[in-house]
Amino acid sequence: MSEHGPIVIVGTGLAGYSLARELRKLDKDTPVILVSADDGVSYSKPMLSTGFTKGKDADGLAQADVDAMQAQLGIEIRPHTQVTGIDVDARQLQLADGALSYGRLVLACGADVLRLDIPGDGGDRVFSINDLGDYRRFRDTLGEGRRVAIMGAGLIGCEFANDLRNGGIEVDVIAPCDALMPGLLPDAAANAVQRALTDLGVRFHLGEVVERIDRADDGVCLSLSDGSTLDADLVVSAIGLRPRTALAADAGLAVNRGIQVNRALETSAPDVYALGDCAEVDGHVLLYVLPLMACARALAKTLTGERTEVSYGVMPVMIKTPCCPTAAYPPPADAAGDWQTDADGNSVRARFVSPDGELLGFAVTGDFAVEKQALAKEVPPLHG
Ligand SMILES: Cc1cc2nc3c(=O)[nH]c(=O)nc-3n(C[C@H](O)[C@H](O)[C@H](O)COP(=O)(O)OP(=O)(O)OC[C@H]3O[C@@H](n4cnc5c(N)ncnc54)[C@H](O)[C@@H]3O)c2cc1C
């Protein structure tokens, strides 16, 4: 392993900053440089879908600027600096304004939002919210607007629906699926969340897609596949994310759904590592905070001399729909078994049980959500 040159981390999201923090717990001296395409402001991305509920705009959600992070962690940060290429033989990053040599390189460059090319002239009123800058633009443009249409009924679409309603905004959710959060929640739990959000005033248009978005006098008019139309001030597109792999792929690194790394977070190139939303760790792409924190702890040890593999354990996903608190730990996609469900109104306990009686996954909503810790002790970890 080359010890020469700084540890360079691409990205100042939760993955990049968590790794820098873990590194500094173990080693105060090795030079660490973070390079980021954005402004480097530290924030907690999950809080973006709680802004209205907590009464915070983009400034309120910002935690620390670049100067504060540099001082706090004893690192160098280069904001507004796009990495355009990696030369793994020369151990160099290509930047818009020159080159940067590294001893060890960590890719923490996140995920791209999926975008639909929808006909109509209303495209500039469609917002994807995947970082603090996106959130700022959305809030600034919404201004006093009071009607938002959300495309997508996954975790992020549902969280924004709850949060915007808490802010007194009229919300329509349009999605092609028949039930909320497919892949994450079984139908019984999804229906409970949908009922609670409906009671809160969210209007759902499931089984539909948006076919056109046209400018209207004071906003946009969306044309849906059932022939209906609806008006909104703005549209939030929350149809999914894809790990950012182009930089790694162009440099010849192995890439599948994400940048492929083993459990020691090593890519196919020497002294190049990846973690966070951009990484596919031992076959798993997990776009959540707990996995990246576990990766940051393991990688900090590796980078300070003790090669360490990450262990994921059991990490239920908490869904921030306060009108119906929900937690889920989906079973493996290919697992044999059945969902067994108890329900009391919008409180649902769904357990996925194998033919030999083993609990492989669960979803709990409403009053049963408090059982998540107890259930988490019964299911097998993602890997030991
Ligand atoms: C609204 C919302 C709510 C969420 N809620 C939850 C939740 O409740 N619980 C949970 O576990 N997870 C949640 N998540 C997911 C979680 O926030 C992410 O998994 C996590 O923040 C990803 O962090 P990251 O550092 O990998 O990526 P990012 O935060 O996307 O950071 C990527 C960084 O890389 C930089 N970058 C990218 N390309 C380049 C380049 N070429 N050159 C230089 N810099 C580059 C970017 O500028 C950025 O600084 C939520 C996500 C969203 C959007």
Helices and strands of the chain, counted as H and E runs: 10, 27
Q: What is the pTM of this model?
A: 0.96
pLDDT of 146-201, one tens digit each? 999 999 999 999 999 999 999 999 999 999 999 999 999 999 999 999 999 999 99
**Fold observed for domain 115-237:** FAD/NAD(P)-binding domain (3.50.50)
What is the distance of C-alpha 341 from the center of its chain? Answer: 28
From residue 265, alpha-carbon distances to 18, 116, 168, 204, 269 in Å are 15, 32, 44, 41, 11
Which of these, 298, 328, 300, 326, lies nearest to 312 by C-alpha position? 298
From residue 169, alpha-carbon distances to 1, 102, 190, 291 in Å are 54, 48, 22, 33
Domain ranges of the chain: 7-112+241-303, 115-237, 325-376
115-237: same fold as 7-112+241-303? Answer: yes
CB-ligand 1 contact for 36 (6 Å cutoff): yes
- Average of per-residue pLDDT across 118-141: 97
pLDDT of 113-127, one tens digit each? 999 999 999 999 999
Reply yes or no on whether the pLDDT at 3 is more than 70: no
Length, in residues, of the chain: 384
CB-ligand 1 contact for 19 (6 Å cutoff): no
CB-ligand 1 contact for 156 (6 Å cutoff): yes
pLDDT of 214-258, one tens digit each? 999 889 999 999 999 999 999 999 999 999 999 999 999 999 999
Which residue's C-alpha comes closest to atom 18 of ligand 1?
A: 288
CATH number belonging to domain 325-376: 3.30.390.120
In words, the CATH class of domain 7-112+241-303 is alpha beta
Cβ pair 75, 69 in contact under 8 A = yes
Strand partners, 38: none
Reply yes or no on whether the pLDDT at 207 is more than 60: yes
CB-ligand 1 contact for 294 (6 Å cutoff): no
CB-ligand 1 contact for 319 (6 Å cutoff): no
Reply yes or no on whether the pLDDT at 353 is more than 80: yes
Which residue's C-alpha comes closest to atom 50 of ligand 1?
A: 46
